[in-house]
Amino acid sequence: MPDDFDLRILTALQADARMPANDLADRVGLSAPACYRRTRALRETGAIEREIAIVSPKTMGWTITMIVLVTLERDRGRIIDDLVRSLKVAPEVMDVWYVTGDHDLVLHVAAHDMASYDDFTRTTLHAAEHVRSFKTLVVMDHAKRNAALPPAHLG
């Protein structure tokens, strides 16, 4: 169970994973080695899943992204695992959410252009069993991109 020191560390590292342990120490009120030990423990327990650079999509050659709302046949059971497995492997697929409501899956997909997105839908979605239908919402602007979570509530 994380205490407030841990939550402060996590909140700081969510904003800047490269913050030196010394700055972290000042912020959370511990010594640098104490911050380091806690940070290491947070990594080992999986509270920190990974530490990554957020890169501009255009720089990486991904010019468009789509939100895809997928509706499955109404006997979806474990068979959709096959679909999800193929989505996990597909590099263009950045996020897969299982949802309840008007749809069953929501995807966040990157593409170089519309033609390559069409390819993706053909090989991955149209080809899949149990996909009844899907709707593509083309992203015009990613107005807020907060890969980090909201800050934790401190006790």
Give the residue among 126, 143, 142 at the shortest CA–CA distance from 134.
Answer: 126
Instruction: For residue 40, give Cα distances in angstroms to 107, 109, 136, 138.
Output: 32, 33, 41, 40
**Total number of residues binding DNA (CB under 7 A)?**
14
Smallest separation (angstroms) from DNA to the CB of 37 = 6
Q: Does 88 bind a second copy (CB under 8 A)?
A: yes
Coil, strand or helix: which one is 33? helix
Residues within window 21-80 making contact with DNA, judged by CB under 7 A: 21-22, 30-34, 36-38, 40
Cβ closest to a second copy, residue 56 vs residue 78? 56
**Structure tokens, 19:** 């913050």
Give the residue among 86, 84, 79 at the shortest CA–CA distance from 129.
Answer: 79
Which residues bind to a second copy, rule: CB under 8 A? 2, 7, 10-11, 13-18, 42, 46-57, 59-62, 65, 67, 69, 84, 87-88, 91-103, 106, 110, 112, 135-153
